[in-house]
Amino acid sequence: MTEDESAVRAVILDVLPRGRSDDDRPQYQRSPVALAVGIPSFRLFEMPLAEDSGITIGDRVDVAPEPERNPGIEEVSEISYSDLTGGAESELEYAVAEIVEDHETRFVDYYNDAQPITLRLHQLDLLPGIGDTLRDGILDGRKRRPFESFDDLESRVDGLHDAKGKIVERILDELRGDDVKYHTFTDGS
């Protein structure tokens, strides 16, 4: 299978072999269900699976309406963070960190391209642990030349540690809905 650029991909966060416990049908009638996070959209999905799908936690799958694109996945629906199981919540941080690492250029460009939101608030201020001093250091550093990687960013901005972790933490805050007014990396639904 060739990877289509328009295909939406997802990382499996949890597989419930006997379906959801809140399903009213008898257990023997329930289908297995997978919970996943989209790459790189960070949308959350629930996918009833075929019994013999072989899909497990950590797998990357196509999220597409065409059955031939996602063998073993019967349908796909979007869910919210509150619909995740405890296991999926635990796996989410690792999956988001992996997605951010795999798409490092996109997230380093956030540091390079972030702009003011209002006269008193900058997009960089939305990242956990970024205050006025670090924000100004990032802005000064990118004026000289754009940052090329998280390592470059951390080496050129005094006091900035774990630039990738700050992005991951912000994405998780947005997914959880932790009193987030601005959704920078997720759609906020």
Kindly state the average pLDDT of the residues 5-23. 79
Kindly state the average pLDDT of the residues 81-99. 95
Query: Does the structure show a pLDDT above 60 at 125?
Result: yes
114 — alpha (psi -120 to 50), left (phi > 0) or beta? beta
Q: How would DSSP label each residue in 75-93?
A: --EEE-GGGS-HHHHHHHH
Which pLDDT band holds residue 4 (cuts at 50, 70, 90)?
very low
Cβ neighbours for 111, distance < 8 A, ≥ 6 positions apart: 124, 138, 142, 147, 153, 163
In 3D space, the residue among 65, 75, 99, 124 whose CA is nearest the CA of residue 175 turns out to be 99
Sole residue written with tokens 């799958």: 61
Q: What predicted TM-score, i.e. pTM, was given to this entire model?
A: 0.87
Residue 29 pLDDT: 66
Task: Give 24 or 115, the one with higher predicted confidence.
Answer: 115
Kindly state the average pLDDT of the residues 168-179. 90
Which pLDDT band holds residue 98 (cuts at 50, 70, 90)?
very high
In sign, the C-alpha dihedral spanning 169, 174, 175, 176 is positive
Residue 72 pLDDT: 74
In sign, the C-alpha dihedral spanning 84, 87, 91, 93 is positive
**Domains along the sequence of the chain with CATH:** 8-81 (2.40.50.140), 103-176 (1.10.150.280)
Please give the Cα distance from 71 to 55 (Å, whole number): 10
% the chain with pLDDT above 90: 63
